[in-house]
Amino acid sequence: MSAVMRIVMLKELRESLRDRRTLLTSLVLGPVFAPLFFILVLKLALARSVAVQDEAVPVTVANAAAAPNFVQALRESGLTVTLRDGDDAGIRSWISGSDGLVVLRVPGDFGDRFSSGEPAVILLYADGANAQAERYAARVQQAIASYAATIAGLRLQARGISPAVVQPIVVDSVDVSTPSARATLLLGMLSYVILVVTLLGGLYLAIDATAGERERGSLEALLTVPATREQLIRGKIAASAAMMSAALALVTIATAVALRQVPLETFGMSANFGPDVAWRVFLAVLPFALVGASLLTVVASFTRSYKEAQSWLGVVMLVPTVPIAIAGVLDLQPQAPLMLVPSLSQHFVIQSLMRGDPLPAAWIALSVAGTLALGLLLAWVAGNLYRREAILGG
Amino acid sequence: MIRVENLTRSFGAVRAIDGVGFEAQDGRITGLLGPNGAGKSTTLRILYTVLRPDAGVAQIDGIDVAADPLATRRAIGVLPHAAGIYPQLTGRENIAYFGELHGLGGPRLTGRIEELVAELEMEGYAHRRARGYSQGERVKVALARALVHAPRNLLLDEPTNGLDVMATRALRALILKLKAAGHCVLFSSHVMQEVAALCDDIVIIDHGRVVASGTPKTLLAQFGAATLEDAFVAAIGDARGLE
C-alpha cells in the first residue's frame, strides 16, 4: 500500500467514524438490526407453522338443537364445538366482541329440509378480515364438506347408485412441505442479508469520498497534491472496503448470536452458525468487500451530486443479489464455474457452511480468485474514471 | 516564477482561452483581471494541473505543467475557486491531511501547522471541527492547506470571494507578506479594487485573450485613464470594439 493510499484511507475512515449518522446506518442499523429482524421473522414463521399444525379449531354453533347429528359430526372431525343460543344480530355482536370467532347458525327448518332431501342451509359467520378467523372458517368448511359428502354417498347408496359415479376425479394432494423445509428456505435468504449489509457498511463512505467530495468543493484542491489520481481513488476504495469489512464482521457476529435464540434443532435442522462457521463466513465474504467498494465507487464517480449518487447506489446495492436470485429460480447447485461468480459463490459457501457440508477447497479458491479479479478490475475502472477531467464536474 | 505562452483550451465548441500569454515574477503579485467567464479560472486550472491545455506552454519554475504535473504540484500552492474543506475534520486536521499528502510528517508538520495557525490567526477555532466554520474561517483553512508545504508559487482563484471586510484585509496582509518573502503570487479576480490594492502587475483577460498587461502605472498611461477602472473598461471596450 502506497503512503498516499494509506493517508487517504485513514482520513476517509476518520471522517466517516466521526459522522454519527453515517456510523449508525453503516455499522449499527445494518449489521445488528438486519439479523435481529431476520431472526425474528424466522422465529415467527417457525412458531406459526407449529401452531397451525396442532391448532384446535373452535366453532360456536347457534341453535344446535335443530341438527344434533350434524353437531356430532363436527365434533368427530376434531373441532371444538361450543353451543350457544342466539339470532343473527346476537351472532354479529359475539364476533365483533371476540378475536377470530367462527359461528355456525342452524336455521329452524334445517331438520325438515335435511330429511326431505332438499339442500339444507347452514350459515357460516366469520370476520373475513381476520386471518385467524379465515383459517378457522376454512377448517370448518372442510369438516362440513366432508360430512356432506358422506351423507350424499349414503343417499346415493340408498337409491342403488354407487357414490363413485359422482366422483369422476379425485384430487389427492400430498403436502410434502414441513416447517423445517420452510425454515431452510428462509435461512437461504441469510446470504442476501449478509451481502447487502456488507455493502451498506461502505455505501456512505463511497458516496462521501466521491460525489460528496466533489459537491463540497474539496476535490479540486485534493487533485493538486503531488499524487496520482489512481493513488487517491485507491485510498478511497480501501477505506470503503474497510468499512464493509467491519460491517461484515459485525453482521456475522450478530447472526451467530441471534441464531442461537432459534430452536432450529426441534425441526431437525442443525443451527450451524457457531463461532467457527461465523469466522469462515467472514473470511469467505471478505473478498466481496473489494468488489462492493469498487463497484459503489465507480457508480458514485459517474453521478453529479450526493443525492444522485444516493439514488443510484440504492439500485446498485441490489445488483449482487441478482445472481443469487437467478440461481434460486433455476435451482442451480454449486459447481466449479459458478464459483467464479462473485456474490453467488459467497452464497454457496455460506449455505454449505451452514449445512455443515463444506465445499472443496479448490472451489473456495475459485470464489476468492473470481471475486478479487472483479474487484481489481472495478478498482482499475475507477482509477480511469478519475483520470478524466470531467470528474471535476460543472 | 510562472510563464504562460499562447495557451489555448476549448470545451466542445467553446474556446475558453485563446492564446493567453503572460509572466508572473517571483517577489511580485500578479493579478488576473477580467469579467466573469473571461477565462481566468481555466488559465489557473491549467496551471495547477487539473486541466490540460490544447496548445501552448505553461511553465512554473521552468517545469512544463502538462509534461510533469507531479513536479508542478510540489512547486505550487493552490486555492481553487471552490475551496471546500472537510467538515468532520478540525481545522488543524484539514491542514495536516494536505501536509501528509505532500510528504510531510512528524514534528516538522506539526510545527508548520502551528506556524500557519498563528500566522492566519486561527487559534480560536483550529481545534474545532470545520462543519461550523464561517466562510472566512473556511477560506483561511483552505489557504493554510495550500501553504503547508511552503510552495514558492501561489495560485489563488478569487480568494476574497465571500469574505467580509476584516477577513479580506487579513488575506491582503498575508499576500503582501508572501510577496515580501519572495513568493510568486498569481491571483484572479473580477473586482477592480482588489487588484488595484494589491497587484504589482495586472493581466487583463477578456473572451479568453489577454487584452492588456503591465504595471498599474503603465496601464493608466497606455489608456490615458485617470483610474484603473477607466483603464480596465477602456481595455475591454477596445478589445470588444475590435471584434
CA distance to partner chain A, nearest, from residue B229 (Å): 31
Spatial neighbors of B22 by CB under 8 A, at least 6 apart, are B4, B30, B203, B210, B213
Interchain CB contact of B16 with A (< 8 Å)? no
CA distance to partner chain A, nearest, from residue B188 (Å)? 16
Helix (H, G, I), strand (E, B) or coil at B201: strand
- In the structure, how many helices (H) and strands (E) does chain B have? 9, 10
- The residue of chain B nearest to residue A219, with distances taken between CA atoms, is B84
Contact A7 B97 (CB under 8 A): yes
Question: Which of B:103-162 have CB within 8 Å of A?
Answer: 103, 129, 142, 145-146
The reported pLDDT for the residue numbered B243 is 43
Domains of chain B as residue ranges with CATH: 2-82+151-242 (3.40.50.300)
Quote the mean pLDDT of chain A.
85
Amino acid at A378: L
Is A175 part of the contact surface with chain B (CB cutoff 8 Å)? no
- One digit per residue, pLDDT tens: chain B, 243 residues? 999 999 999 998 888 999 999 999 999 999 999 888 889 999 999 999 999 999 999 999 999 999 999 999 999 999 998 889 999 999 999 999 999 999 999 999 999 999 999 988 899 999 999 999 988 899 999 999 999 999 999 999 988 877 888 888 888 888 999 999 999 999 998 888 888 888 999 999 999 999 999 998 898 888 888 888 888 888 887 666 554
Q: How far is Cα A364 from Cα A89, in angstroms, rounded to an integer?
A: 68
ipTM: 0.92
Which residues in chain B are closer than 8 Å to A391, comparing Cβ atoms? none
Residue spans of alpha helices (H) in chain A: 3-18, 20-23, 34-53, 68-76, 88-96, 110-115, 131-158, 179-188, 190-207, 213-216, 219-222, 229-259, 275-302, 306-316, 321-330, 344-355, 361-387
Distance from CA of A381 to the nearest CA of B (A): 19
Domains of chain A, earliest start first: 3-49+181-392 (no CATH), 57-170 (3.40.1710)
Query: What are A199's three cell numbers?
Result: 455493502
| A191, three cell numbers | 446470504
Give me the pLDDT at residue A270, please.
57
How far is Cα A131 from Cα A46, in angstroms, rounded to an integer?
17
Position A372 scores a pLDDT of: 95
B-chain CB neighbours of A15 within 8 Å are: 86, 88-89
Buried/exposed code over A163-182 (b: 16+ C-beta within 10 A; e: otherwise):
eeeeeeeeeeeeeeeebbeb
d(CA B174, CA B160): 12
Task: Please give the pLDDT value at position A87.
Answer: 84
Q: A53 exposed, middle or buried (CB, 10 Å; 0-12, 13-18, 19+)?
A: exposed
- Which residues are within 8 A (CB) of A150 and not within 5 positions of it... i.e. 6 or more apart? A73
Would you tell me which residues 177-216 of chain A have a C-beta closer than 8 angstroms to some C-beta of chain B? Answer: 216
**Strand order across the A123-125 sheet:** A80-84, A58-62, A103-105, A123-125
Give contacts of B74 with chain A, Cβ < 8 Å.
226
The per-residue pLDDT for A367 is 95
pLDDT number for residue B75: 95
CB–CB contact B86 A227 (8 Å): no
How high is the pLDDT of residue A393?
64
Å between A232 CA and nearest CA of chain B: 10
- Supply the pLDDT for residue A150: 86
Q: Are A26 and A15 in contact (CB under 8 A)?
A: no
Chain A residues with CB under 8 Å of B102 CB are: 225-226
Residues of chain B in contact with residue A3, where contact means CB-CB under 8 angstroms, are 103
Do B215 and B221 meet the contact criterion of CB atoms below 8 Å apart?
Answer: no
Residues 154-183 of B with CB under 8 A from A: none
Which residues on A lie below 8 Å from B90 (Cβ)?
none
Please give the Cα distance from B65 to B32 (Å, whole number).
19
Say whether residue A217 is in contact with chain B using an 8 A CB cutoff.
Answer: yes
First to last CA, chain B: 32
**H helix runs in B127-200, sequence order:** 135-147, 165-180, 192-198
User: What is d(CA A340, CA A363) in angstroms, rounded to the nearest whole number?
Assistant: 9
Smallest CA-to-CA distance from B51 within A394, A321, A73, A86 is with A394
394 residues of chain A, pLDDT tens digit each = 789 999 999 999 999 999 888 888 888 888 888 888 888 887 777 776 666 656 678 888 888 888 888 888 888 888 888 888 888 888 888 888 777 788 888 888 888 888 888 888 888 988 888 888 888 888 888 888 888 888 888 888 888 888 888 777 877 766 555 554 556 667 778 888 899 999 999 999 999 999 999 888 899 999 999 999 999 999 999 999 999 999 999 999 998 888 887 776 665 555 577 888 899 999 999 999 999 999 999 998 888 788 899 898 888 888 888 998 898 888 888 899 999 999 999 999 988 888 777 889 999 999 999 999 999 999 999 998 888 877 776 4
